[in-house]
Amino acid sequence: MDEFGLIDTFVSQFDVAPPPRGPGDDCAVLPKQGPSCVTTDALVEGVHFTRGTFSMPDVGHKALAVNLSDLAAMGARPAWFTVALGLPGWATARDVKKLGGGMARLAKLHRVELIGGNVTRADQLSLTLTLSGALEGPPLLRSGAKPGDALYLSGPVGDAALGLSLLGTNSGASSPLVDAQRRPVPHVAFGRFARRHCSAGIDVSDGLAQDLGHLCRASGVAAELDSAALPMSEALLDAAGSRKAAQPYALRGGEDYVLLVAVRDPPAFERALTRAGFEAWRIGTLRKGSGVNLDGVRLTGRLGFTHR
Ligand SMILES: [Mg+2]
């Protein structure tokens, strides 16, 4: 199938506007927009996934999910996105259809609109997405936290990292941990809530310790984490065998895509959480200084995952 056939196969699975807003012209033309966020992130075969452990719909889902998580971290409402596909020789029209199918399901759920993209031959399968989200007020930044703020997580951590190690020993493994690795759920609605109720935020993509380190540096504060308060799933605790064995995954494992937020007034935040029907786990406090501490001990060394 030629380039244009592949583009049609991919795009036909999305709800798209006609040109000039949707795909099909040389550029997409957007109406005048208010304040918005833009993010871009790539998913590359051999770096972020392998064909043996991810299905094509998994890859399509995850490529969009990781970008949605960055919009969530800013408190933005997803609006539109573009996709640049790098297709190796082995990729068939059926593979392209499945990639688009996994992505289109998540796009529909978040009402984020595909407005254009590109297809090229490549050595590895790669998907580079650019997403934009609308801001309904000031964005949630990494730099807004102050000493005394409390730290909360919007979900458990560690599942995706243990899921990845399960896939390393058994590519056909299936469990909630493997699902967390293959099909992360971006916390978009929580992010929009957090924008109104939190002083700073970041998504946990590279591991709690590392991403908390980014927030601390940007805000000029130190963090005190309480190991007993780290939220861990039953699946993680079962698979790891104990809380102690699970802790490295929770602390330094990556790709959970939950949100980490700083909160100035915890009682007011918790009342707002209950009213809005969200859950969050208080894991520590910020103070003057620098660095990330766990139970009073400074964390050093490799804090999380880096993709290079
Ligand atoms: Mg991020």
In angstroms, what is the span from residue 70 Cα to ligand 1's centroid? 5
Phi, psi of 97 (to 5 degrees): -65, -40
pLDDT band at 308; cut points 50, 70, 90: very low
Kindly give the distance from the C-alpha atom of residue 109 to the centroid of ligand 1, in angstroms, as a whole number.
21
Q: Confidence band (pLDDT; 50, 70, 90) for 302?
A: low
Concatenate the DSSP letters of all residues of 121-190 into one string: E-SS-EEEEEEEEE-SSSPP-GGG--TT-EEEESS--SHHHHHHHHHHH-TT--SHHHHHHHS----HHH
| Nearest Cα to Cα of residue 212 among 173, 254, 175, 242 | 254
> Using one digit for the tens of pLDDT, what is the confidence trace for 49-63?
999 999 999 999 999
Whether the per-residue pLDDT at 306 is higher than 60: the answer is: no
Give pTM, 2 decimals.
Answer: 0.96
54-63, 126-135, 169-178, 188-197: lowest mean pLDDT where? Answer: 169-178
By the CB criterion, residues less than 5 angstroms from ion ligand 1 are 70, 203, 205
- What pLDDT was estimated at residue 199? 98
Fold exhibited by the domain 142-298: Phosphoribosyl-aminoimidazole Synthetase; Chain A, domain 2 (3.90.650)
190-225 confidence digits (pLDDT tens): 999 999 999 999 999 999 999 999 999 999 999 999
| Domain locations along the chain | 3-134, 142-298
Least confident of 20-34, 132-146, 222-236, 247-261: 20-34
Q: Cβ contacts of residue 127 below 8 Å, gap of 6+?
A: 42, 43, 59, 60, 63, 83, 84, 85, 86, 99
Q: How far is the CA of 204 from the centre of ligand 1 (A)?
A: 7
Is 119 within 8 Å of 152 (Cβ atoms)? no
Q: How confident is the model at residue 303 (pLDDT cuts 50, 70, 90)?
A: low
Percentage helix, strand, coil for the chain under 3-state DSSP, each rounded to 5: 40, 25, 40
Percent of the chain with pLDDT over 90: 92
Tens digits of residue pLDDT in 242-284: 999 999 999 999 999 999 999 999 999 999 999 999 999 999 9
Quick check: helix, strand or coil at residue 295? coil
Q: Which residue has the tokens 């998580």?
A: 69
Say how many residues make up the chain.
Answer: 308
170 Cα to the center of ligand 1, angstroms? 29
CA pair distance 248, 139, nearest whole angstrom: 31
Distance 23 CA to ligand 1 centre (A): 27
Name the average pLDDT for the chain: 95
CATH code of 3-134, in short, is 3.30.1330.10
